[in-house]
Amino acid sequence: MQSVWSKWLANLNGTLPAEALVLRVGVAERVGFEQATVLANIMRMIVLVGANTAIFLACDFAAKVSSHSPYTRIAYALVACIFICYFIIFNACSKWLKDPTHFQNASQFIQSILVVMCILCTFWGVLIVCLTLAAGPRQLSLIYGVIVACLAMPALVAPVSVAFVAWAPIATLGLISLLIRADRIDPFALISFVGFLGMTGFAIIYLNRRLTERALDTIRIEENSEVIRLLLRDFEESASDWLWETNADLELQRVSPRLSQVSQKSPGELVGKFPGVFLGDMAKFDQRIGSPVAKLNRYLTDRSAFRDLVVPVVIGGEERSWSLTGKPILDHTGRFIGYHGVGSDVTAARRSQEQIAFLARHDSLTRLPNRVLFNEVLHQSCSHCEEYPVALLCLDLDNFKMVNDSLGHATGDAVLVAVGERIRGCVRDGDTAARLGGDEFAIILATDDIEEVAVVARRVVERISRPYHFDGRLVEIGVSLGISLAPKDSKTPAGLLKNADLALYRAKSDGRGTWRFYDPEMDERLQGRRNLQADLREALQHSEFRLDFQPIIDLSTGKMVAAEALLRWHHPERGLLSPALFVPLAEEAGLIGPIGAWVLRHACMVAAKWPTHISIAVNLSPIQFRDIGLVAVVDDVLAASGLAANRLELEITETTVLETNSQTVDALWQLHGRGVRVALDDFGTGYSSLSYLRRFPFDKIKIDRSFIRDLGHEKDDSSIILAIIGLAGSMNMLVTAEGVETMEQASLLAGYGCPQAQGYLFCRPIPEGDIPAMMNRFHQTSDISYLTRLQ
């Protein structure tokens, strides 16, 4: 039946395949087709039985009823018409069953059959009436049988309930004719007939409805099965997943082309028990507790379902990841008969997930663990430090910022990558090396042995301090380390980090390029620094700062030409404190800005009272120098004090110059254009370079005291001093020698042509109130060289 139905659909719809058209044809058409097919099969059998009945009637009446009766001739004619109708019906049903395309649709076939049936029933009704009128007593029993058959016949064509309308008149006419023949109407017989006729009609209508509902259910099931089949076929042909199925012995039953493709095996090679046929050697060797293969075997043993279980599989020598989903199949008795499921190759997705997870816990530049993973390891290490002691090393690169700013971020990143590789080579597999951010690194060593930790620290310092070569450039940096031990120094991650940071700060204070272990005194010193920082915040409000001034002398005349303002802090409890103690604290606390502004303002106010040929020199901290509002601050100070711009001299160090950017360079040129002079302080102690002497608008170079200290001894720095003086002269810059303490140093400097000097030989830094006396001293009659007077 299904093949006929498919053929009919295919012919009706051209080139589309029948299996696809099943889903497009409405349910009503499917029901009509089923009814027409049932009707055709039943009607052919009815035709055969009806034709035999007509022959029996004709033969019986021909032998026992007079041929001269008018009813006889009519009966013969009616039998001939009946045979014609039977032929038409039989032929139509045969055509339908053989090729339904002879009809436009099922409704047309059913309607044509019903039309012929109505004509046939009319002939039968008239035939029965005629035979009843002509029949003798013995023929009436045959007519009774025909009438009963007519009453039962509609039940055979129950799928087409309207057939009842065609068959009912035959029985009705036959009964009426029989009652007339009996010369009286029996009311009981009539009531029984009507009741039986009603019961037959109800049964036919009820059966038709129930059969139609079942047909609809069957069609829906077929359509759903067809949809599922098509979807599964499309799934296997176009999707990246595949289907798998086993029997009760877990033997693989069906190998789809997709499964054969992804496993790189022929269907013949995929014969065996699941999952070994899938996983190969992995199913034998990866039996670790909690492993994916062990979980899969447990599910199979328990006959339980599993979903998205990722298992490893080796294909072509490459390990890949398959995701398997399976569900046990049970028969109607609840007996296990196998598994069916779906699988997919999730290697790419899994690798992407692993990459995302790796990047979330590792530094993208150096590939070392980042702060997230470092904190996890540190917390875990601290929780077990009593049983397994550890050492924490905090690393900070020396001079990296200078490299990053001067050579560019690309070179800086390359340095960080190289540093990460060198750090990785300094630790063992059980240790953890991490980049915390910027130029900060950390190492967690699985030991608290001081000597062993010191060996690692020494190795790290030595390897990181080796030169780096990038694009033909030589780069040199260093590293400082702070070390704390657990559980000795602390048992908590926060405490261990704090102590390592304190040790790192001590290492940097001690000259960098070294390492220091934490000791409790560092914590005490830290507390002292914090207290001092807190006092600094109140020092400005309580006017605890003051300025001392040290004169700068013209070596050729002996007269004072300038004075350098030096900051002092008179602490209410600790007395007078040196700038070397509190200025770094002020920079760390962010207080150097307001303190520096106060120094500049107060120094200019004092210098404004001096003779106009005497200048004032003020030191700028790196933070002040990088302040984009520096030009505005200087303008406001000069305007408020009334000091001429050419009498103000701003001193900056070489280290400060190396940390500049384009904005700070522009600011210096703006100040230079206003007449403010710029001096390079402590020249020779940093990375002296002729390039920034040309880049910046320097008016003066100040030779550091370290070059003056040994002047006049056997191994002095005379050649360097002469070179600096010659360089400055060629670039139209003044030179001031700092730290002059002896007559010999002053005489040599004068002989070298150094124009200016300052130091204890001439005058120590003095308070503001002693300035007038100092000026008088250096402006006495100068007929004799001031060097002679000093002697």
DSSP assignments along 593-636, one per residue: HHHHHHHHHHHHHHHTTS-TT-EEEEE--HHHHT-TTHHHHHHH
Higher pLDDT, 382 or 268: 382
557 phi and psi angles, rounded to 5 deg = -115, -20
Interhelix angle 106-134/163-181, rounded to 10 degrees, is 10
Residue 130: its pLDDT value, please? 74
500 phi and psi angles, rounded to 5 deg = -65, -35
Residue 17: its pLDDT value, please? 40
Higher pLDDT, 407 or 426: 426
Q: Which helix (H) or strand (E) holds 32?
A: helix 27-64
**Is the pLDDT score of 688 beyond 60?**
no
Q: Compute the average pLDDT of residues 10-32.
A: 49
Interstrand relation of 700-703 and 677-683 (parallel, antiparallel or unpaired) = parallel
**Is the pLDDT score of 530 beyond 80?**
no
Q: Work out whether the CA dihedral 218, 223, 229, 235 comes out positive or negative.
A: negative
Alpha helices in 717-770 (DSSP H): 718-730, 743-752
Residue 2: its pLDDT value, please? 43
Cα distance between residue 339 and residue 317, in whole Å? 28
**Is the pLDDT score of 167 beyond 90?**
no
User: How much is the pTM?
Assistant: 0.49
Residue 24: its pLDDT value, please? 41
Report angle CA 287, 293, 298 to the nearest 5 degrees: 90
Residue 6: its pLDDT value, please? 43
Cα distance between residue 391 and residue 404, in whole Å? 30
Cα distance between residue 274 and residue 253, in whole Å? 10
Whether the CB-CB separation of 273 and 250 falls below 8 Å is answered with: yes
Burial status of residue 525 (CB atoms within 10 A of its CB: 0-12, 13-18, 19 or more): middle
Per the prediction, the chain carries an average pLDDT of 79
Three-state DSSP class for residue 552: strand
Interstrand relation of 336-345 and 241-245 (parallel, antiparallel or unpaired) = antiparallel
pLDDT band at 69 (very low <50, low <70, confident <90, very high): low
Residues 6+ apart with CB under 8 A from 270: 252, 255, 259, 260, 263, 277
**What percent of the chain is predicted at pLDDT more than 70?**
76
Angular region, 245: left φ>0, alpha ψ -120 to 50, beta rest = beta
Q: Compute the average pLDDT of residues 135-150.
A: 66
Residue 149: its pLDDT value, please? 66
Residues 6+ apart with CB under 8 A from 461: 478, 479, 481, 513, 514, 515
Cα distance between residue 393 and residue 117, in whole Å? 104
Report angle CA 118, 121, 127 to the nearest 5 degrees: 145
Q: What is the DSSP letter of 332?
A: T
Minimum mean pLDDT range among 17-26, 626-635, 750-759, 770-779:
17-26
Q: Which helix (H) or strand (E) holds 484?
A: strand 478-486
